[in-house]
Structure 1
Amino acid sequence: MLRPDPAERPRLIEIRDNLTDRIVEAECEGRLGEIEGLKVSLAAADAELAQLDAQSARVQRAIDLGMPSFRDIAARSTEP
């Protein structure tokens, strides 16, 4: 799966808004076949935006795994 570039988010929003406008226009003119195709494209644009949002949320929340650093491990000594 390809990951969308976060820098392209404004362009994706512009595409989504344009698709929404085109769907409204096609509905007014009764072009049913075109409406279905536009809805598929709109769903794909929404999915990419959701993927960007999820990716951003993952990056923002860091998880501490509680693993010791090398310094902590190297300082220990073992006794027989």
Structure 2
Amino acid sequence: MLILDPKMLPRLDELEQDLVERRKRAVAEGWQGEIEGIDLTLTFLRGKRAQAQRFQRSGTVDLGLPHQRPPRHVSRS
């Protein structure tokens, strides 16, 4: 899975605008296969943008250091 750096968000905006323009041309030319491909790419691009924005807002989380649990004593009756 590709993790996107939040610094790349402006580049994603540029890519989306380019794809939207290409889609308009594909619609005007009647290129149905191209339209479907662009729509699929736009869906993935928008998903990656949302993922990067969530990561940007959440930042890092300190999980602390792992530790061993004490052994459980099982009573035998």
Q: Taking structure 2 as the reference length, what is the TM-score of the superposition?
A: 0.72
Q: How does 1:38-53 map to 2 (within 5 A)?
A: 38-53=38-53
Aligned length, in residue pairs = 63
Distance 2:46 2:40 in 1: 10
Structure with the largest fraction of helix: 1
Tell me, yes or no, if structure 1 residue 19 matches structure 2 residue 19: yes
Aligned position for 1:8: 8
Identity of counterpart residues, as a percentage? 34
Distance 2:31 2:12 in 1: 24
Distance 1:7 1:21 in 2: 24
Runs of at least 5 residues in structure 1 that lack an aligned partner in the other structure: 63-80
Runs of 4 or more above 6 Å deviation: none
Runs of at least 5 residues in structure 2 that lack an aligned partner in the other structure: 62-77
List per-residue Cα deviations over 1:5-30 (Å, max 9, x = no partner): 11211111100111111111100110
Q: Taking structure 1 as the reference length, what is the TM-score of the superposition?
A: 0.69
List per-residue Cα deviations over 1:24-48 (Å, max 9, x = no partner): 1100110001000011111111011
Distance 2:13 2:4 in 1: 13
